Amino acid sequence: MKNIADNSHLYRTGNWGSIWKLKVLPKVKNLLWRICQGCLPTRARLLDKGVNCTSLCAMCDESYEDTSHVFFDCLRARIVWQQSLLLSKVISVMQKSSTTAEIIFTLLQELPQGQAEQFATLLWSVWKSRNLRVWENVTDTGQVIVEPAKQLLQNWNLVNCKKQISGAAGAAAAPHTTAIMTDSAAAVMTDSAATVALPVQCKWLKPHQERLKCNVDASFSEALNCVGFGLCIRDEYRNFIKAKTLWLIPICSSDVGEALGLYHAIQWVRELQLSNVDFELDAKKVVEY
């Protein structure tokens, strides 16, 4: 077992709930979190950490590459915001904000939900384009950056809509089950579902007053023959408390992986000497065991 990240020391103030509530891919939320925490490996960040590299932007080869430049000041980024009809709003917020995190938090708060999700996905697409330039020497046009981002968001919404409808159809014939894992035991609470409203919206449920919630999830890589775990603790106000990721070799079944994730989450919480923590995961078999 090897810990590969314990990023609690990177905690910064901000409206983190505006990121977590977005209906976008988890990798998009992860990118926004890394940007706002200041741990994205731009060339400015790499130089700050002692890496010997150029300071110039990978996309324009002209300016100092920090997060503000990559996502908002670079000419290629401006073209993306112009083609997505967000440029005027982005510039307006930039004039009132002093950091990249402030720009992102403000835009997520002020934009309508659909545009906020589009904005977040475009940030991911801009960063992907930047990395293609660095690692494969591929230069994307603004349209090539914008269109895949739109398609990615549409496909994600379509898949989730199908899941919600399928889940609602199943709930119509059976009791609705809400599973909450505590640090001492699992409590499964059921309540009858007389009527079902479509579509069903999946939302993060906050813990009870003066309690914390640790979300646990596992991922599986056949190529790397390993299982990874992501742990995130938040309070009743959605504020980020601590997070941790780790991985284990070899790969295992999904049920075993989710159970191992819960086990390591409990061990981690004990190390932190926290006693008011609820655990939440999406593995039905593990919850009901």
**Which pLDDT tens digit goes with each residue over 33-56?**
999 999 999 999 999 999 999 999
Mean pLDDT of 272-288: 85
Domains of the chain: 15-167 (no CATH), 204-288 (3.30.420.10)
- For 75-108, what is each residue's pLDDT tens digit? 999 999 999 999 999 999 999 999 999 999 999 9
The pLDDT of residue 7 is 53
Rounded mean pLDDT of the chain? 82
Range of lowest pLDDT (6-10, 12-16, 149-153, 196-200): 196-200
SS3 track for the chain: CEEEECHHHHCCCCCCHHHHCCCCCHHHHHHHHHHHHCCCCCHHHHHHCCCCCCCECCCCCCCECCHHHHHHHCHHHHHHHHHCCCHHHHHHHHHHCCCHHHHHHHHHHHCCHHHHHHHHHHHHHHHHHHHHHHHHCCCCCHHHHHHHHHHHHHHHHHHHHHHHHHHHHHHCCCCEEEEEEECCCEEEEEECCCCCCCCCCCCCCCCCCCCEEEEEEEEEECCCCEEEEEEEEEECCCCEEEEEEEEECCCCCHHHHHHHHHHHHHHHHHHCCCCCEEEECCCHHHHHC
